[in-house]
Amino acid sequence: MRHLSVEKRARQSEVRNRRNRKTKASLRGALKDLAANKEPEKTAKLTAAAQKVFDRAVVKNVIHKNKAARLKSQIMRKKAAQPAE
């Protein structure tokens, strides 16, 4: 006896898992780019790009909105702590 709904749910889960992994990888990439950055000129551009990635992950329900807010706050504090040139 085949349960078609179980098979469909497994397929959906697999697709969503791949999609979420890709989004989480872009989150980690944005954070790594910011951490590796040593140039104050590029910091503003990278910060804006990272915030955009965080917001996109929230819309896709990959991370919670409070986590995105916390991450954005952390990167803004690090940006403010950097000496301006």
pLDDT tens per residue across span 11-69: 999 999 999 999 999 999 999 999 998 888 898 999 999 999 999 999 999 999 999 99
Dihedral sign (CA 50, 55, 58, 60): negative
Domains of the chain are: 4-81 (1.20.58.110)
Question: What residue type is assigned to position 74 of the chain?
Answer: Q
User: How large is the average pLDDT for residues 67-80?
Assistant: 93
3 pLDDT tier (thresholds 50, 70, 90): very high
Q: Among 64, 23, 68, which residue's Cα sits nearest to residue 15?
A: 23
pLDDT confidence of residue 22: 96
Question: Which DSSP letter does residue 30 get?
Answer: H
